[in-house]
Structure 1
Amino acid sequence: MTTSRTSALTLADWRTRVADLYAAVRAESDPAEGHRLWVAGRSELFAHHPQSPTAHVPELREHGVQYWPYDPALRFEVPVLEAEPDERDVDGGDDGSVTMQRIGRVELPAPVGGSLDVWWLHQYAGGLFVPLRDGTAGSGSYGAGRYLLDTIKGAWLGGDEEHLVLDLNFAYHPSCRYDDRWRCPLAPLGNTVEARVEAGERL
């Protein structure tokens, strides 16, 4: 499918707005206030932007998506540990295949527990990707999982050369949860935890 001039420009605008939203979140000293900004910003984009994944879901376009209340116990700064190399290609729809390379893993402290793989996406000049599938999948959140970080799309909460900030309150559904025209990399086995993460975006 050929991308039209209008869709290319609106997609560029969507990505810029998402990146700006996360920059505002990182600049906020109070994580709970940053979360409030994030929810408000996403609600505005979902309701009015032409690239909204809810554009064809009138009830969500009008009323917005739902979120669990902010839980400060689910914000972590964790070291990125070594992991066995792994590389896989996943269907990216009209964007072609997406190549994911595992570059490490993180251990989530209590009350969650478990570990999550950290991936590098080769497309779009590269970016970090951390999906999550938890005990709410299918009964409180999308059955195929949610995303914590996707730096290609601007979803980045901070870190340094050895650590990542992972705030599970910012877990969000991939666009394919709302519209079949999207193809999204989903959470593999190494990004699955048993605990119910009742934080972030919900069904």
Structure 2
Amino acid sequence: MTELSPAPAARVGDVTLSLLGWRRQVAALYAAVRAAADPETGWRTWRDGRDELFAGHPDSPLDRSARADFRGLPYAAYDPALRFEVVALPAESQRLEVPTATDGVVPFDRIGAVELEGIGRLDLWWLGSYGGGLFLPLRDGSAGTSTYGGGRYLLDTVKGADLGGDDERLVVDLNFAYHPSCTYDPRWSCPLAPEGNRTAAPVAAGELLPPGGWERTPSPSPLAGSG
């Protein structure tokens, strides 16, 4: 019997349709978080769902060798004190032009800020290209030790990472802090936390690095209009 090779992934330009599938599943995962009976249950759903995506999806940021040994992403225990419902505060306008791995150079406009107890003020960024979306990165005092040196993401709504809220308030839950794709493999280019999204306070919540870090973790590049 002739063994058939798997069909190549369908492509639109330089992007495979499997990437659309990844984003669709991430959006569904965050929808389940918002619908959960309580925040910690939602967090467990999110954690388990991310493990499934990282282990089995063709667009996992883990390379094949890392996937073969994958036993789950490490996280700090859930801390309900690190969940906030906050209003957006005014901030001076600023634009950053950020190269990314899949979307080319994209503009981010500072549209406001949030104030988190024990953390301080963090800038809110709006994706200025088609469709828009809110982006909230964080580089805290754990960066370079227990978390990636370039920081983590809290919200990235264009990619589905949206914890909810209403017309007046945002849900910002530090337990949902997660690493960008460039943490695991340098083929990814990710926007990192600019100056207004950095704090010296360590955040003992969210996704952590495994002992010794990921084998292919690159050095962070600054987000001075790049990433």
Q: TM-score under structure 2 normalisation?
A: 0.83
Task: Return 5+ residue gaps in structure 1 as ranges.
Answer: none
Q: Deviations over 1:41-91 (max 9, x none)?
A: 000000000010013452685222211110001000000010000001012
Partner of 1:154: 160
Task: Return 5+ residue gaps in structure 2 as ranges.
Answer: 1-8, 210-227
Aligned counterparts of 1:61 and 1:38: Cα–Cα separation in 2: 21
- Is residue 127 of structure 2 the alignment partner of residue 121 of structure 1? yes
Partner of 1:76: 84
Aligned counterparts of 2:63 and 2:145: Cα–Cα separation in 1: 24
Q: 3-state SS of the aligned residue for 1:18?
A: helix
Q: Deviations over 1:148-187 (max 9, x none)?
A: 0000000000112221100000000000111111111100
C-alpha distance 124-43 of structure 1, shift in aligned 2 (>3 A): farther
Say whether the 8 Å CA contact 1:18–1:155 is kept in structure 2.
Answer: yes
Q: Which amino acid letter does the alignment assign opposite residue 10 of structure 2?
A: R
Partner of 1:168: 174
Q: 3-state SS of the aligned residue for 1:85?
A: coil
Which one of the candidate residues 10, 15, 29 is aligned to 2:37?
Answer: 29
For 1:126-145, what aligned pairs fall within 5 Å after superposition?
Answer: 126-145=132-151
Q: Which amino acid letter does the alignment assign opposite residue 150 of structure 1?
A: D
Aligned counterparts of 2:147 and 2:68: Cα–Cα separation in 1: 15
Greater Cα radius of gyration, structure 1 or 2? 2
Say whether the 8 Å CA contact 2:23–2:159 is kept in structure 1.
Answer: yes
C-alpha distance 45-183 of structure 1, shift in aligned 2 (>3 A): same
Task: Name the structure with the higher helix share.
Answer: 1
- Stretches of 4+ aligned residues off by more than 2 angstroms: none
Say whether the 8 Å CA contact 1:55–1:61 is kept in structure 2.
Answer: no
Q: Percent identity?
A: 59
Q: How many residues align?
A: 198
Say whether the 8 Å CA contact 1:169–1:199 is kept in structure 2.
Answer: yes
Q: TM-score under structure 1 normalisation?
A: 0.92
Partner of 1:108: 116
- Is residue 13 of structure 2 the alignment partner of residue 5 of structure 1? no
Q: Which amino acid letter does the alignment assign opposite residue 51 of structure 1?
A: D
Q: 3-state SS of the aligned residue for 1:16?
A: helix
Once superposed, what is the RMSD of the aligned Cα atoms?
Answer: 1.5
